[in-house]
Structure 1
């Protein structure tokens, strides 16, 4: 279930194109389970995930002087939040291929903001929030903490190349313990508009992906990335 939150912003155009770059095993797991994996927020490589900027931390620390549990709650809350990251870009990103696919057997899911919002209607157990990440100077700029999702929608400016939209799930109100993350129900046909095969992959790999997708009962448009297409001179 996707929920609106007036404090969380998204691109104005619902047809804004978004991407997820992943390897074949994760892609097949998505199709077979019809569930999207979301990583626990404190398991990301960036240790600042879900934390506050320095000005905000100083304010929280003052509040915590009279209420020590206040600071502990914010620290432990990271263990209860799961995130799925998507990249905003009208076109493929060479950098994203390099960062998120370890070899030439990766692929990319192309979707849109509206498709992401509509893909979670079948998920009734966990509420999903979708928002665009803000990139700020953590030493100078303030992160509001009147909304529990704000710490997960801010990152340091050094990550702004990611141009990230995030699907966020908070399991604080349930008894679920997140280990590496959480799998949520998703409408695959809504989620995926098109599949792009790694630009350095061989033709056999593209044919394999097409065959696997067909055998699993899906009919997505599958194309090879044109980043490595033949030059014209």
Structure 2
């Protein structure tokens, strides 16, 4: 079982890092293209277009490629998570990452499709898009076809809303350097703030396969311009967790979304704890630029002696002296 999970993890990482084009002919995928993953005769993994899939001994359909609604950063991209001391110690003590259920965020637009005034236009557009995939033959002799179609659509929408509550999110700041704004926003006491820094690849490898995670950068949009019937300004209900309002663009957020994980590790607040290998996850630990030296020394000793972590522990240099 463990070998099977590791093989799946390796295969998924290969797909993530080679998702945009065929590894044989170089064809770039667009939304709607069918792609295949498998092994060449040499044993190497390949992710191919339909035409090149015949080169693999075990080609199998893997996904509808493209996924233009989100961007995947390069494996070495730096990711940061800023927090106060209590949350950091909880991370160490639980050896788990905290994932927040999508409806528990303060932002009322989390998982939203648009502004309320555009809802009727969206319903009309979505019903037209969905019509070719819905079998309504049983209704065709009925004078109330539209009402029955609307009833079917409402049931479909209820199922999507239920699905939405099975999405748990871990938020990271993607940047090659520290952020003064993130220190201020996400450590309640900036004198005792701590940040862990990892990379996309380290984060991926530290998470268990059973967490059923997807990864990507958040898209920042003006919701009034989307899902209002305008061509090209559309995203599907399943893609809603990858969008946020423009007013949050400063966060440069990278998300890990766990959808209906295979294990039950719910907190009392009905959020999710997912176990991770901390030695694999954490590249560096940073202390707030305003942290006192005694605090840095104390917490560093706790990290080493109690939790056995020996990654680099650095004091932020954002407050280093300048000259004029």
Q: When the two structures are superposed, what TM-score results if normalisation uses the length of structure 2?
A: 0.64
SS in 2 for 1:213: helix
Match in the other structure for 1:17:
78
Structure whose alpha-carbon radius of gyration is higher: 2
SS in 2 for 1:19: strand
Match in the other structure for 2:99:
38
SS in 1 for 2:161: helix
Q: Is the 8 A contact 1:132 1:164 kept in 2?
A: yes
| Change in CA separation of 1:184 and 1:143 when aligned onto 2, cut-off 3 Å | farther
Q: How does 1:1-233 map to 2 (within 5 A)?
A: 3=12, 4=16, 6=65, 7=67, 8-11=70-73, 13-54=74-115, 58-60=121-123, 63=127, 65-67=150-152, 68-103=154-189, 104-120=191-207, 123-141=208-226, 142-145=233-236, 148=238, 150-171=239-260, 179-215=269-305, 216-233=307-324
Q: When the two structures are superposed, what TM-score results if normalisation uses the length of structure 1?
A: 0.87
| Change in CA separation of 1:118 and 1:57 when aligned onto 2, cut-off 3 Å | farther
CA drift at 1:58: 3.8
Query: What number of residue pairs does the alignment pair up?
Result: 228
Q: Distance in 2 between matches of 1:74 and 1:153?
A: 15
CA drift at 1:76: 2.9
> 1:192-231: per-residue Cα shift (whole Å, max 9, x none)?
1001101111111101111111011110101111111122
**Higher relative contact order (CA closer than 8 Å, sequence separation 6+):** 1
Q: Distance in 2 between matches of 1:172 and 1:224?
A: 36
CA drift at 1:71: 2.2
> 1:20-66: per-residue Cα shift (whole Å, max 9, x none)?
00111211111122111101111111111011125687434653823
**Which ranges in structure 2 are unaligned for 5 or more consecutive residues?**
17-62, 128-148, 227-232
CA drift at 1:73: 2.3
From the two aligned structures, give the one with the greater helix fraction.
Answer: 2
RMSD value over aligned CA atoms? 2.5
| Change in CA separation of 1:228 and 1:175 when aligned onto 2, cut-off 3 Å | closer
From the two aligned structures, give the one with the greater strand fraction.
Answer: 1
Q: Distance in 1 between matches of 2:120 and 2:298?
A: 50
Match in the other structure for 2:142:
none
